[in-house]
Amino acid sequence: MQDKTAPDGNELTVNLVRLRKSDHGTEGILFFRHFSCFSMELPWRDNRRNISCIPPDIYHVQIRVSPRYGRVYWVIEVPDRSYILIHSGNWAGDVSKGLKTHTNGCILLGKYTGILQGQRAVLCSRPTITRFLNMIQGRTFRLKILDTIAEV
C-alpha cells in the first residue's frame, strides 16, 4: 500500500476533541483544515476490547479495505486493541445497559448529533464518511484525540 502524505510533504493531523460522555457514548468533534463533523465512540470502559473507546493519544491512521465497511481508515498501534476503524454508523451505546451500538470500539462520524430511537447518535453518517474520505484522498494521517469531557 502506497503511503501518501499531504501535498506540502507534511503528514496531516486530524483532531478529535471529545466533549461529552455518557452510557449513550462518547461524543466529539473531528476536524482538520476545511472539514469538521461530529464523532461518536463507545463510552470509556478502561480501554477494554469491544466495549470501550480508545485512550486519548496521537495515533497513525492509514487507509484499509474492510470486508464489512469497504474503504475506511484504520487507527493503528492502539495499545491492547486491533482493527479500530473510522466508519459509518449511528449509535455507540453501552449494550450491557440495553443501549444500541454500531461499533465495537471504532469511531463513527456524522453531520449532526441528535436522538435516534430514544438514544444519542450521530446522524447522516454515510454521506459524512464519503466526504471525509474525499477530503483525505487516501493519505495517511495522525489522529490526535483529546479529552475535554463533561459527564452527563
Structural domain boundaries enclosing 90: 12-151
E-strand stretches of 23-69 = 25-32, 35-41, 58-66
Query: Does a structural domain hold residue 98?
Result: yes
Query: Does a structural domain hold residue 7?
Result: no
Q: What is the DSSP letter of 129?
A: H
Query: Does a structural domain hold residue 2?
Result: no
Q: Please state whether the predicted TM-score (pTM) of the whole model is above 0.75.
A: yes
Cell (9 digits) for 144: 490526535
Q: What is the pLDDT of residues 69-109, one digit of tens each?
A: 899 999 999 999 999 999 999 999 999 999 999 999 999 99
Number of folded domains that form the chain:
1
Measured distance CA(7)–CA(129) in Å, rounded = 21
Return the SS3 of 13.
strand
Query: Does a structural domain hold residue 32?
Result: yes
Query: Does a structural domain hold residue 61?
Result: yes
Measured distance CA(43)–CA(7) in Å, rounded = 36
Strand partners, 121: 114
Q: Which pLDDT value is given to residue 48?
A: 96
Query: Does a structural domain hold residue 5?
Result: no
